Amino acid sequence: MQKLHLSQSLSQKLSPQQIQFIKLLQVPTAELDTRVEEELEINPALEEGKEEEKKDSEEEFEDNNFEEENTSEDKDVNIDDYLNDDYGGYKMQGDGNYSPDEEEREIPISGGISLHEQLIAQMGFLKLDERQKIIGRQLIGSIENDGYIRRDLEAIINDLVFSQNIESDIDELEEILRKIQNFDPAGIAARNLQECLVIQLERKEHPDDPTVQNAVKIVSDCFEEFTKKHYSKIQKKLDLGEEELKEAVNMITRLNPKPGGTSDGLVKTQYIIPDFILTNTEGKLEISLNSRNAPELRISRSYSEMFDAYEKSDKKDKKLKDTVTFVKQKLDAAKWFIDAIRQRQLTLLKTMQAILDFQGDFFYEGDETKLKPMILKDIAERIEMDISTVSRVANSKSIQTEFGIYPLKYFFSEGIATDSGEDVSNKEVKSVLQSLVDAESKKRPLSDDKLVKMLNDSGYNIARRTVAKYREQLQIPVARLRKEL
């Protein structure tokens, strides 16, 4: 038997205006121009240019509640559909030194060619038949950004069968792979670090030099011992003198472990457009928005007049009514977009000002040890906004200072207790940790236990596991791997 039940539930809904604001807030400066251009293309009621003095018809339009039939745009939308948008990175290129006085300057784009294009060009100098060229292109296409081929050759053979209808085998692939491994940069197309280092050593100008030969033996026959810096085992296994071992190890450590990632002219440079500009005028810190965050937009006069004409018209036929409904929707959308842009500007400035007030000591000196512990909640409470709003600003924006360009998330960190009972930023602890490692004797590097003791003696109450975590975040190897001859 079917029954009807009534139930009440609470749910959070966002209006179309709020959704538009949230999406615009996440967009970095580098992408805002594109977003504005898209809106201009789809909405004829929106125009570029300074807003003119309001006429009576426009004031009437803005004050109108539009109580006629609701459009689909007026419906509430579930917030869950919009909380997972990701605008975390800068996907476009622009001038990192952009200032408000440089509005007409073109954004510089790096002119180099990609790694794969360079390798394909080098392959053109080999005398390969069409079949070998196809295999070569398949291998080059499998090279990752750092220059390695990590895909198993058996898988590449399967790719050739399915995508190119070419049957091959390991021997044929390795023959062509060896040719590609002779391309520049040295070490390219290696399948692992060991092979990458051997390729570079074999391409040395004087391969018969004893130091080169010793280096090849170390990488080929004692690679595990080398990675663990068990130098005494290598010395005994290869019967090398202390000076011979030292020269060979120094040669190996000067090789490039990522031949694809640091090749001159092969990787395109990325430029960051800062969202905020910080200036220090005689000790007074002032924040300004990058001028690209303030596009000049206005509502089309012709569309406003069209709406005004409808209001004064006595003719209410269906065709005219449908036309005016369309006009009203476009006017709505234009006004919402302009308001969202303005709200974006105010929110950005309000959030950045709160960060500046909180971390003022850092912005005066640029010393990261002056950073205070600060979490999203601290700023959210100061500006009386939701934590998610602060998160959207912090995750996708940056500020230009006289010390460099910093992402806003750089200024957020957890606190570490000190003997004095105060909390300091974990960035300060990391800075001290880095200084201790930099000053250590590389013949007897400091263990994590010793680093903990030294930090505790300096007043930082920190556990060994936290030191290990910070060391890894700073990309500092364990003591054994920091040891030098």
- 438: tokens are 């930099």
The CA dihedral of 400, 401, 406, 408, to the nearest 10 degrees, is -80
Provide the CA 197 distance to its chain's centre, in angstroms. Answer: 30
Q: How far apart are CA 284 and CA 282, in angstroms?
A: 6
The pLDDT assigned to 73 comes to 41
SS3 (DSSP) at 359: coil
What integer best gives the mean pLDDT of the chain?
A: 78
Cβ-count burial 250-270 (b if 16+ within 10 Å, e if not) = ebbeebbbbbbbebeebeeee
The pLDDT assigned to 455 comes to 86
Amino acid at 162: F
Backbone Cα Rg of the chain: 31
The pLDDT assigned to 77 comes to 38
Amino acid at 200: Q
pLDDT tens figures, 394-412: 887 889 988 888 888 888 8
Q: How far apart are CA 47 and CA 368, in angstroms?
A: 44
In the predicted model, is pLDDT for residue 267 greater than 50? no
pLDDT tens figures, 268-323: 445 577 889 999 888 899 999 887 777 888 888 887 777 777 666 655 667 777 77
Q: How far apart are CA 22 and CA 19, in angstroms?
A: 5
Q: How far apart are CA 29 and CA 124, in angstroms?
A: 41
- CA torsion through residues 141, 147, 150, 154, sign: positive
The pLDDT assigned to 417 comes to 66
Domains of the chain: 17-95+272-413 (no CATH), 115-253 (no CATH), 417-482 (1.10.10.60)
**Phi, psi angles (nearest 5°) of residue 286:** -130, 135
pLDDT tens figures, 231-245: 889 989 999 988 999
pLDDT tens figures, 456-465: 888 888 888 8
- 209: tokens are 């030099």
**Cα angle for residues 87, 88, 91 (degrees, 5° grid):** 75
SS3 (DSSP) at 276: strand
The maximal CA–CA distance of the chain, rounded, in angstroms, is: 105
369 or 342: which carries more pLDDT confidence? Answer: 342
